[in-house]
Amino acid sequence: MNLLVELLVEELPPKALKKLGDAFANLLAEHLRSQGLASAESVVTPFATPRRLAAHITQINTKAPDKVVQQKLMPVSVGLDDTGSAKPALVKKLQALGLGVLDVASLRRAMDGKVEVLFYDRLLPGVTLTDGLQQALDAAIANLPIPKVMSYPLASDSELPGWSSVKFVRPAHGLVALHGSAVVPVRVLGLRAGNTTQGHRFEARTSPVVIQEADHYEQTLQDDGAVIASFAKRRAEMVRQLECAAAKVGQGACVIQDDDFLDEVTALVERPNVLVCQFDPQFLKVPQECLILTMKANQKYFPLPDAKGQLTHHFLVVSNITPADPSAVISGNERVVRPRLSDAQFFFDQDCKKTLESRVASLSKVVYHNKLGTQGERMARVVAIAEGIVTLLHKPLLLESVKTAARLAKTDLLTDMVGEFPELQGIMGGYYARHDGLGEDIACAIEDHYKPRFAGDSLPRNDTGIVVALADKLETLVGMFGIGNLPTGEKDPFALRRHALGVIRLMIEKNLPLNLSDLISVACAAFAKSASQTGWRCDESGAVSAFVHDRLSGYLREQGYSVHEVDAVLSLCPQYLSEVPKRLAAVRAFSALPEAPALAAANKRIGNILKKADVVAFAQVNQALLTEPAEIALYDAILFITPRAQVQLVAGDYTASLQTLSALQKAVDAFFDSVMVNAEAPDLRSNRLGLLKTLHQAMNQVADLARLA
């Protein structure tokens, strides 16, 4: 038979509901399986609404199968004397296990390796569903990913009324536990299991809703309780209604795709009813990002842009009630949204009264970090780093626009709009820059300098924005590493991983001919000139570079490159990140060559020989000391092949360079087949090590080929 468990609670946190529902169902099933009450074939169906967490699990036994437990005791020689009687050690062991004095004949002897050992086999009865479900419920509730726990007193009609209190995500008011049609008598959070629950507060057909059978739960709750219990089905129904409503509006209107927001609104309603509303078109003069964020963040409304992406004056409301005449609900929401949009308009109008340039001086009054000074000092560092990047790029014509954009990039932090909606920082700066007449180039740079804000985000649209974005991220990385504010496995409060990934994407995807070490040096120089930071230390150990390369490794694997390919390239710590994709392509092409396995193995062998050599090898060869035909042939091959490969390497044609070097394979194999590297004569040995060092250096300039072995 199948099992249904439901926990009825007060309104759950909407951003955590889906995760809580899945965790509740999966934890229950996991613990039931571990006890033998559920099987691997049992199907788990989670349910989650604003006021309930539930799970339906198939193929649940009323009692778990009995199982034989083998208890290893001790070696026979330790437990039994020569007559076969129990020694004190065995008696003590049995007593410790609560077995008392057993007949020695009931113990089983078996070989454990080379030693004969005593075992005690006993039959453990399977756990009953009542006991097993009780344990599973307790464990599931204890391990739920609850964002914040509440402590609340138990209800007067609970089993432990009065001053007793419990802790849970929200106060719980009901528990359903059905195995088929039978109630499983479990207790949790002061509640006793039954077969009744509550439906929709206003539209339920009956109250309470009686669940007659575990398999009828979802349908009964929908028919009698007016609740769609499945989170996924409720979301799908809401999306369907949203799309239909948008189509009725016309103008090519469409719902903004935002999965997290859809999940959040799904968690706010038990049965969605989408309604079309509108606001005064005059508000469309306000930047649409402000209106969208106002409607989504404050009211949980769905704004409707048209086919061109421009916001319309229509929006969608997901109501939790379905009245015959929805006009009151529509007018109520339209009335509520007006003051919100009026606030946004007021903030925008007030902000436009002051230029961004007039706000620069006020940045020195805002603390950025107690060890790194104010936002004004931070801005000065970003300007200095941006100037250094322009110099490295050899693009002097960019200098003035870069300095202007970098100086004004953070000024929108002082505006009323960004104070109300921090998510709009950068975006509002772009609008205010246009209003100030600074031009599209600088406006786009200010708007884009935070990019990429998240995985998959677009990059800055122009060169000015690229330079300022790179400078901003380098300032954060070098600053935070300089004061020891490093990310841990769980915490990264300053988003240093995201900043490192931003640096990587900018350098690779924009093909910037910049050296990472040079960039870090420019950033360190900017900090060295800043007087007020306390405790900052220059990154002398290369920690920032190592951190960026570590993030680069993960980024490349996500792009589909293998671990061996990535390790081969990054083991050389390339500083021109824009060249890394070409190096990886070259390694992949090299790996497909028939000579590749032998050359990779030979490189690994050469590396081991050089490490174990009793002298330090230098890439120098005395031709007069080459005596064996194979080493002479290898030396001639190196002289003939490596210059061509080097020319291709310098030209950036890494694929051709490695393919040219692959012609060395036969000479390398012949060398190892017939030449003793560690010759007895010191001069011969040193010369042959020098030959291998020369070969090793030539072969491993694109990547460490030994990593492919």
Please check whether residue 638 is in contact with residue 695, taking contact to mean a CB–CB distance below 8 angstroms. yes
Does the pLDDT at position 535 exceed 80? no
pLDDT at 147: 83
Place of tokens 């070097």: 661
Nearest to 432 by CA among 413, 458, 449, 450: 413
> For all residues of the chain together, what is the average pLDDT?
92
Residue 404's identity, in one-letter code, is T
pLDDT at 251: 83
Nearest to 226 by CA among 272, 196, 269, 271: 271
Token reading at 568: 């081969």
DSSP 583-623: HHHHHHHHHTSTTHHHHHHHHHHHHHHHHH-SS---S---G
CA separation, residue 554 to residues 566, 572, 703, 705 (Å): 9, 16, 18, 20
pLDDT band of 272, cuts 50, 70, 90: very high
| Cα distance between residue 690 and residue 621, in whole Å | 6
| Cα distance between residue 482 and residue 524, in whole Å | 9
Q: Give exposure, 262-300, as e/b (b: 16+ Cβ within 10 Å).
A: bbbbbbbbbbbbbbbbebeeebeebbebbbbbbbbeeee
What is the model's pTM?
0.81
Residue 467's identity, in one-letter code, is V
Q: What is the pLDDT of residues 200-258, one digit of tens each?
A: 999 999 999 999 999 999 999 999 999 999 999 999 999 999 999 999 998 889 998 89
The DSSP code for 52 is E
Token reading at 77: 């020689």
User: Is there a cis peptide before residue 682, judged by omega within 30 degrees of 0?
Assistant: no
Q: Pick the residue with more confidence: 124 or 493?
A: 493
Q: Write down the H helix ranges in 97-230.
A: 129-142, 217-225
Residue 353's identity, in one-letter code, is K
Please check whether residue 192 is in contact with residue 164, taking contact to mean a CB–CB distance below 8 angstroms. no
pLDDT band of 464, cuts 50, 70, 90: very high
pLDDT at 224: 96
Tell me the percentage of the chain whose pLDDT exceeds 90. Answer: 76
| Cα distance between residue 300 and residue 23, in whole Å | 25
Q: What is the pLDDT of residues 1-38, one digit of tens each?
A: 999 999 999 999 999 999 999 999 999 999 999 999 99
The number of helices, as runs of H, and strands, as runs of E, in the chain is 25, 19
CA separation, residue 361 to residues 355, 366, 371, 412, 579 (Å): 12, 10, 20, 13, 41
| Cα distance between residue 286 and residue 304, in whole Å | 15
Does the pLDDT at position 657 exceed 90? yes
| Cα distance between residue 456 and residue 475, in whole Å | 22
Name, in order, each residue with C-beta under 8 angstroms of 430's C-beta and a sequence gap of 6 or more: 443, 444, 446, 447, 448
Task: Calculate mean pLDDT across residues 291-299.
Answer: 93
Please check whether residue 357 is in contact with residue 436, taking contact to mean a CB–CB distance below 8 angstroms. yes
Does the pLDDT at position 92 exceed 90? no
Angle at the Cα of 392 from the Cα atoms of 386 and 394, rounded to 5 degrees: 105
Q: Write down the H helix ranges in 267-413.
A: 288-293, 327-351, 375-393, 399-408
User: Can you tell me whether residue 252 is helix, strand or coil?
Assistant: coil
Nearest to 132 by CA among 218, 15, 37: 37
Token reading at 459: 């990059």
| Cα distance between residue 709 and residue 532, in whole Å | 52
User: Is there a cis peptide before residue 452, judged by omega within 30 degrees of 0?
Assistant: yes
pLDDT at 158: 53
Please check whether residue 54 is in contact with residue 5, taking contact to mean a CB–CB distance below 8 angstroms. yes
Q: What is the pLDDT of residues 314-365, one digit of tens each?
A: 999 999 999 999 999 999 999 999 999 999 999 999 999 999 999 999 999 9
| Cα distance between residue 705 and residue 709, in whole Å | 7
pLDDT at 472: 97
Q: How many CB atoms lie within 10 A of CB 84?
A: 9
Across 3-12, 84-93, 116-125, the highest mean pLDDT is recorded for 3-12
Q: How far apart, in Å, do the first and last CA atoms of the chain sit?
A: 55
pLDDT band of 91, cuts 50, 70, 90: confident
Residue 86's identity, in one-letter code, is A
Q: Which domains does the chain have, with CATH numbers?
A: 3-63+128-225 (no CATH), 67-124 (no CATH), 231-351 (no CATH), 364-560 (1.10.3210), 595-708 (1.10.730.10)
Residue 702's identity, in one-letter code, is V
pLDDT band of 489, cuts 50, 70, 90: confident
Does the CA dihedral 428-430-433-437 come out positive or negative? negative
| Cα distance between residue 38 and residue 133, in whole Å | 11
pLDDT at 204: 94
Please check whether residue 401 is in contact with residue 445, taking contact to mean a CB–CB distance below 8 angstroms. yes
Q: How many CB atoms lie within 10 A of CB 475?
A: 25
Q: What is the pLDDT of residues 129-153, one digit of tens each?
A: 999 999 999 999 999 999 888 888 8
Report helix angle 427-435 to 327-351, nearest 10: 60
| Cα distance between residue 217 and residue 549, in whole Å | 53
pLDDT band of 174, cuts 50, 70, 90: very high
Q: Give exposure, 312-349, as e/b (b: 16+ Cβ within 10 Å).
A: bbbbbbbbbeeeeebeebbeebeeebeebbebbbebbe
